[in-house]
Structure 1
Amino acid sequence: MSDEAKSKPSRLGRGLSALMGEIDAVGAVPATEGGKPRATVSNEIDIELIRRNPAQPRRSFDEAALNELADSLKSKGVLQAILVRPDPKDSGKYQIIAGERRWRAAKLAGLKSIPALVRDIDELELLEIGIIENVQRADLNPIEEAEAYEALMKRFGRTQDSLASSVGKSRVHIANTLRLLQLPESARAFVREGKLSAGHARAALGAPDPEALIRMAAEKGLSVRDVEARAKDAREGGSIETKSAKSPAPEKDVDTEALEADLTRTLGLAVDIRHGKDGGELRIRYRDLEQLDDVCRRLTAKR
């Protein structure tokens, strides 16, 4: 092992890949901390001794995808160990740091044990790794992502700038995502369940009654642009109902809406895709020069 690998690693902002890189080989010499080896053990652990991480930001797991993974595990076994830590409140038990989806699928497959790497980490690192893992893999819905950022800021004093550095997102993206928490829980549910995009939700925040507008957007299949227009009308003393008779939203196929949602989530800005006979348009809405600068930086970044 190199001298660099033996030195004390930075505790924050390393990301899951960096953490796993220290212990990716079974039987590898563990990383050190303060000149002493940090506890790392690779073995098969009884599934019933493992608990989910209570700070895990991800709450939703696709049942069909879990069943597919379970079928794969039945035939091939678990090829990649999950990462756990000793449960600080229950001796002999473990908490998942990363790999909850594999653990859930292994239980569905009827496996009695699962390969696991045991690592001692603190509460901040536990929460941060959970967020970074899911954000990098795009596993969180926008509300889960926002709640995770808020937890890091409130519980551990993180700033938007430090969060952006840790998770590899722009500060504008962090700020836009956190804005979703201004919605009441009943409105957040539409985004949490994938019925509306984060772009819809942020557009509705401009209305006097965001919850009513979000509910209407979900029921009528409104586009982000339509929600923005209705929010603007409502701010000017009109009704969110008025736009329906004037300009019904053109229907979009599911793939187009999904692509809009993906781009909106990635950019942190409202994206509108319009198809026509001779091609189409991709519209990205920004509210200030900082957002425009962020989009330009992404588009001109070297590949």
Structure 2
Amino acid sequence: MARGQRVNLAELHSAVGDKSPVDRSQLQRDSAAGRTVALDELTANPRNPRDQIGDLADLASIADMQLQPAVVVTREAYLKLYPDDAVSTRYVVVNGCRRLAAARKYGRSDLAVIVNDAVARDRVTLISASIAENVDRKDFDVIEEARAVEALVAECGRAEDAATRLRKTGAWVSQRRALLKLEPELQTALRRGELAIRDARDLARVPRIEQVARWRASMDRNDDAGEGSADKKRPPSRSRVISTAIAEFNDKPENLAIALRTYLGADGVDTLLQLLRRPTN
């Protein structure tokens, strides 16, 4: 496929339409391949841009009714693109990974799918289709989004082509990619909503060695401003961040470590460790 060629992702998802860039006879064969498949024949896309599937409560109704079929490609089509990936099932789910996870969680034994190997005709198309399902979803955090965009740029070869694929501006693609220049603890803060994306973009322009210090200084200024600040979008206070991390400790222990390292600094963490090692009476 030529770089920069526009692809209507909605048409790829539904596998129908007169304006599809894929040969219409192929699409007709694929769209006729709608079927119900047992869950043990399905593997979630190993290249899914999402790190986590998130809360599946909104999909609990899938136990009784599936409103939208998942889009899958055959194992053979997928492995032509990624031969080193471990796929042993008959199909790979490209769009509908959360539906697959919800079906497993809520006791469904099968899933309605549309088989469309045209989505796996090349890596760019597969990655684009995977991102299209998630971009702009409220539960698709910006770092996942940034990594997905970076992967697409790497496959397309140019940021401009990736922007065209996603129907986004070049500035949007550039801003998302810039977030990957943040220190890991700032990326975590951004994902948890403690760091506003506009501030994250500014910090990404700062040398990495200075980023955390600047953010701490900003947080100190926010704390000094007091809880009565008129800025309703002010990031959560450090006490709220730490208390939330403690409440989530069993599921995400790394969040508490990151929060303490961020707010206490290296010396503070060392002092805390010494105190924790002291025997209790």
What secondary structure does 1:210 align onto? helix
What secondary structure does 2:57 align onto? helix
Q: Which residue of 2 aligns with 1:22?
A: 15
| 2: CA distance, partners of 1:245 / 1:43 | 57
Q: Which runs of 5+ in 1 are unaligned?
A: 1-9, 25-29, 221-240, 259-303
1:252 is displaced (CA, Å) by 4.3
Q: Deviations over 1:156-196 (max 9, x none)?
A: 13322222222121111111111111112232111123332
TM-score by length of 2: 0.65
Structure with the higher fraction of residues in strand conformation: 1
| 1: CA distance, partners of 2:195 / 2:174 | 19
1:137 is displaced (CA, Å) by 3.9
What secondary structure does 2:37 align onto? strand
| 2: CA distance, partners of 1:245 / 1:116 | 51
| Greater RCO (Cα-Cα under 8 Å, separation 6 or more) | 2
| 2: CA distance, partners of 1:188 / 1:112 | 37
User: Letter of the aligned partner of 1:176 in structure 2?
Assistant: Q
Select between 128-137 and 35-44 the one with higher mean Cα deviation. 35-44
Contact 2:8 2:21 (C-alpha < 8 Å) held by counterparts = no
Q: Which residue of 2 aligns with 1:148?
A: 148
What secondary structure does 1:78 align onto? coil
| 2: CA distance, partners of 1:12 / 1:200 | 34
* CA-based RMSD: 3.3
Q: Which residue of 2 aligns with 1:100?
A: 97
Paired residue total: 215
- The verdict on how the C-alpha distance between 1:139 and 1:110 changes in structure 2, with shifts beyond 3 A counting, is same
- The verdict on how the C-alpha distance between 1:73 and 1:216 changes in structure 2, with shifts beyond 3 A counting, is farther
| 2: CA distance, partners of 1:53 / 1:166 | 20
Q: Which residue of 1 aligns with 2:247?
A: none
Structure 1 residue 69 corresponds to structure 2 residue 59: yes
User: Letter of the aligned partner of 2:187 in structure 1?
Assistant: R
| 2: CA distance, partners of 1:91 / 1:123 | 20
Structure 1 residue 52 corresponds to structure 2 residue 44: yes
| 1: CA distance, partners of 2:48 / 2:22 | 26
Q: Which residue of 2 aligns with 1:185?
A: 184
Name which of 111, 114, 118 aligns with 1:114. Answer: 111
Name which of 56, 59, 74 aligns with 1:86. Answer: 74
Contact 2:186 2:195 (C-alpha < 8 Å) held by counterparts = no
Contact 2:62 2:102 (C-alpha < 8 Å) held by counterparts = yes
- The verdict on how the C-alpha distance between 1:35 and 1:16 changes in structure 2, with shifts beyond 3 A counting, is closer
- The verdict on how the C-alpha distance between 1:167 and 1:85 changes in structure 2, with shifts beyond 3 A counting, is same
What secondary structure does 1:176 align onto? helix
Q: Which runs of 5+ in 2 are unaligned?
A: 80-85, 236-281
User: Letter of the aligned partner of 2:43 in structure 1?
Assistant: R
What secondary structure does 1:14 align onto? coil
- The verdict on how the C-alpha distance between 1:22 and 1:11 changes in structure 2, with shifts beyond 3 A counting, is farther
Q: Deviations over 1:47-103 (max 9, x none)?
A: 12211112111223332xx12321x2234x112110011122545422111011211
What secondary structure does 1:152 align onto? helix
Contact 1:69 1:105 (C-alpha < 8 Å) held by counterparts = yes
| 1: CA distance, partners of 2:22 / 2:188 | 43
| 2: CA distance, partners of 1:62 / 1:56 | 13
TM-score by length of 1: 0.60
Residue identity over aligned pairs, in percent, reads 25
1:35 is displaced (CA, Å) by 6.4
Q: Deviations over 1:96-132 (max 9, x none)?
A: 1101121111111100001011121133211111112
- The verdict on how the C-alpha distance between 1:54 and 1:171 changes in structure 2, with shifts beyond 3 A counting, is same
| 1: CA distance, partners of 2:26 / 2:125 | 19
- The verdict on how the C-alpha distance between 1:204 and 1:81 changes in structure 2, with shifts beyond 3 A counting, is same
Structure 1 residue 174 corresponds to structure 2 residue 173: yes
- The verdict on how the C-alpha distance between 1:21 and 1:83 changes in structure 2, with shifts beyond 3 A counting, is closer
